Structure 1
């Protein structure tokens, strides 16, 4: 009788595992990278180079050469903190606290040379004499609409359309044309008399705490938002309506950064940890598969690279940057 009961339970568990298989996930801490100054504000990876912004400095590490520091640029302290980094070909775009976007060229020797600041002086001079090019800003002052009037907090490049988007604490969203034939960067906006217009599609349901971070999955159908209460919300597009799918809980501090790669979601928090979430096999829900510890201050930035191991499809390299100035390198593997 006892053996029959044991066999029944074993068969039941086997069927449950077959119906809801869970991937085997392992992770390990590889090494730590130190910057010249503390306080990591953002991380980015491009062409096997790791960019780490620390205060106003941008440190560049060669990932193919044991994370060797090969360049440091933007030594001008008046630019303030670097808030975001993005790329288009051999150009690097950086967002700064002094309201500017700077454009850098990656040279053949992997050093970086400043090309211009956005908007360019030429663009400002060309528009400054026309009154309609001015908009009202805080404290009843007016400014050219082509320039930000507060910290530029985020950048993103649309490679297909050759556009760059910038957002700022001045509550504006700007679109920059990267495809001009003369090599210059020009900013533009859609006018009312043009066929193409940018309109608000929908409002994502309210998340009561402040939202500090966003991430999209690879096909753009799932949006993750990280709140100041330590909760991650998963939103899905259903018949042109964005609905809340689930809430992921586990962090004891505010979510400060999110990154999604393949079926994994990584979250950095003010509780000094990074959590790894994995989508259930054949499903859409996520569960926490690991907690990465070791940082001494809040984790401010994350960046992930898929591949790099013996089986590229089963390895994700994760970089976590903290306000303690430490960049920790992790390897997540065993994805099946």
Structure 2
């Protein structure tokens, strides 16, 4: 299998900057206007604290559990932060830290007491989380998977002219992970242009979709109904589904509306809306039509450089950009979006985002916590307050 050449972090950053000037999508109508930025008196935000977990590396991925914020870095490190300490201004205590693999940790996801991490060294690692430590449960593909597939010639695929390996291996950096909504399946995508599906019960690789895209795959998202969305440097979003009675996923839809590489995908809570961010500076909003196909209804504009990450919490969309800002968006049933806030304070591009709703005493009020990781090596914790939630 031919695959794109692996980029190290410095080359990736150079490529990112070369794409940042690409023109926005003039052919797609805007769902927002600059006049829709709400008056500061109706919404407010503040930076609660700034974490400095690293000095020479950036935070490449963020994810939340009920009690912890987990951060992954470009220098192989995964760290947990006790969420109860952020408001007490003591977030640097009681941290658990592990170092694994070679190169950057590209993506992390959590389900129950397990943390899954994707690495630049082409592997996926599985960790059991306790209050005191991480315990490694497996490295994917597992030894059992490798040995069982190695003995059967049809399980071998060509990766270079004179080299083969079994189909359970990723052969380039694993760029992103996503879990099925019940946590029974793990989906991984890679710069090797493949999608792999793993059973989380025993970590077996169930399926590999070869040549899923024409270039490196950067993002994956999974809906409640089993649709799998992938975004690639080939400018395409592809939709995959295992139809009833079939054993493998097949391609059911392709979107080709972005005019540059896609960096991030996020789904609305009910799975009916897909948000995609790319180097063309726009966030496309796509809705599922009556035939199940995605229809692009418009774009969110406001960032001046590449969109690098997205996060959804309730009806809010958070976007992080190479322009060093975070924007918070909310849509209406009329498909009109307002930019509720622009979070400024980072000194570098925003590489990772996650968010969670904060419970309030008054049901008419909305309060959210947004976590952002930047190439400036800082993590910021933001409180966003919406009085008319």
Bucket of the pairwise TM-score, normalised by the shorter protein: 0.7 to 0.9
Once residues 121 and 294 of structure 2 are traced to their aligned partners in structure 1, the CA distance between those partners, rounded to angstroms, is 35
2:84 matches 1:64: yes
Task: Give the alignment's Cα RMSD to 1 decimal.
Answer: 2.3
Note if 1:73 corresponds to 2:73: no
> Are positions 1:245 and 2:301 aligned together?
no
Deviations 1:155-186 (A, max 9, x none): 1111426111111110000111123xxxx321
- Residue 44 of structure 1 aligns to a residue whose secondary structure is strand
Q: CA deviation at 1:310?
A: 3.7
| Number of corresponding residues | 308
* 1:113 equivalent in structure 2: 135
Q: 2:278 aligns with which of 227, 231, 245?
A: 227
Q: Structure 2: how far apart are the matches of 1:256 and 1:195?
A: 35
Unpaired segments ≥5 residues, structure 2:
1-35, 210-241
Larger radius of gyration: 1
- The alignment's TM-score, normalised by the length of structure 1, stands at 0.85
TM normalised by structure 2 equals 0.74
Aligned runs of 1:1-336 on 2, under 5 Å? 24-37=42-55, 38-55=57-74, 56-66=76-86, 67-76=91-100, 78-107=101-130, 109-160=131-182, 162-179=184-201, 184-189=202-207, 195-239=246-290, 240-280=292-332, 282-311=333-362, 314-334=366-386, 335-336=388-389
Alignment partners' CA distance in 2, 1:209 and 1:267: 17
The 2-side partners of 1:249 and 1:128 are apart by 49
Q: Report the CA distance between 1:215 and its aligned residue.
A: 0.8
Once the two structures are superposed, residues 196-255 of structure 1 have per-residue CA deviations (whole angstroms, 9 ceiling, x without a partner) of 331111112331121111111111111111110211111111122311111111111100
> Which residue of structure 2 aligns with residue 10 of structure 1?
none
Distance in 2, Cα, partners of 1:274 & 1:114: 34
Distance 2:330 2:181 in 1: 28
Structure 1 residue matching 2:145: 3-state secondary structure: helix
* CA distance in 2 between partners of 1:206 and 1:270 (Å): 21
Q: Counterpart in 1 of 2:17?
A: none
Evaluate the alpha carbon distance shift between residue 317 and residue 32 of structure 1 in structure 2; reply closer, same or farther with a 3 A threshold: same
CA contact (8 A) 1:214 1:258 kept: yes
Aligned with 2:256: secondary structure? coil
Structure 2 SS opposite 1:201:
strand
Q: CA deviation at 1:309?
A: 4.0
**1:301/1:311 CA distance change after superposition, 3 Å:** farther
User: Would the alpha carbon gap of residues 91 and 300 (structure 1) be closer, same or farther in structure 2, given more than 3 Å must change?
Assistant: same
Cα distance in 2 between the residues matched to 1:203 and 1:253: 25
Q: Which residue is 1:12 aligned to?
A: none
SS in 2 for 1:87: strand
The match for 1:11 is none
Decide whether aligned partners of structure 1 residues 256 and 309 sit closer, same or farther in structure 2, where only a CA change above 3 A counts: same
| Unaligned residue ranges in structure 1 (runs of 5+) | 1-19
The whole-number CA distance in structure 1 between the counterparts of 2:308 and 2:140 is 27
